[in-house]
């Protein structure tokens, strides 16, 4: 059964901090495909809508500071902004 309306193994994704690009990559370049990651993860636990699978990161990581705003975007899925704050 196919639940996805698009191919998850060929999507552009990006990350910016305060509007400056930090990462720009494509899921087709991942070591393990999105399909394989979902298959593997779901063999251990039930996945639900909204679950997140952390996989690592392409080059471009760097420090962030309180007050920064990070924007993550994935083609055909959407984007989210995260405001960085100091630990409480």
Domain-located, residue 58: yes
Please report the pLDDT score of residue 84 as a whole number: 96
Domain-located, residue 67: yes
Number of domains in the chain: 1
Burial class (CB in 10 A: 0-12, 13-18, 19+), 43: exposed
- Nearest Cα to Cα of residue 62 among 18, 11, 29, 12: 18
In the predicted model, what is the mean pLDDT of the chain?
Answer: 89
Query: 47 lies in which domain range?
Result: 12-83
DSSP letters spanning 36-48: HHHHHHHTTS---
Please report the pLDDT score of residue 37 as a whole number: 93
Q: Which stretches does DSSP call E strand in the chain?
A: 12-17, 20-26, 69-74, 78-83
**48-84: pLDDT as tens digits:** 988 888 887 778 788 999 999 999 999 998 999 999 9
Domain-located, residue 72: yes
Q: What is the pTM of this model?
A: 0.75
Q: Is the pLDDT of residue 8 over 70?
A: yes
């Amino acid at each position: 059964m196919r639940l996805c309306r698009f191919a998850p193994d060929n999507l552009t994704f990006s990350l910016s901090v305060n509007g400056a690009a930090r990462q720009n990559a494509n899921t087709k370049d991942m070591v393990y495909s999105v399909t394989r990651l979902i298959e593997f993860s779901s063999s251990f636990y039930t996945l639900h809508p909204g679950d997140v699978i952390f996989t690592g990161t392409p080059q471009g990581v760097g420090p962030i500071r309180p007050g920064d705003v990070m924007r993550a975007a994935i083609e055909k899925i959407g984007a989210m902004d995260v405001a960085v704050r100091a630990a409480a």
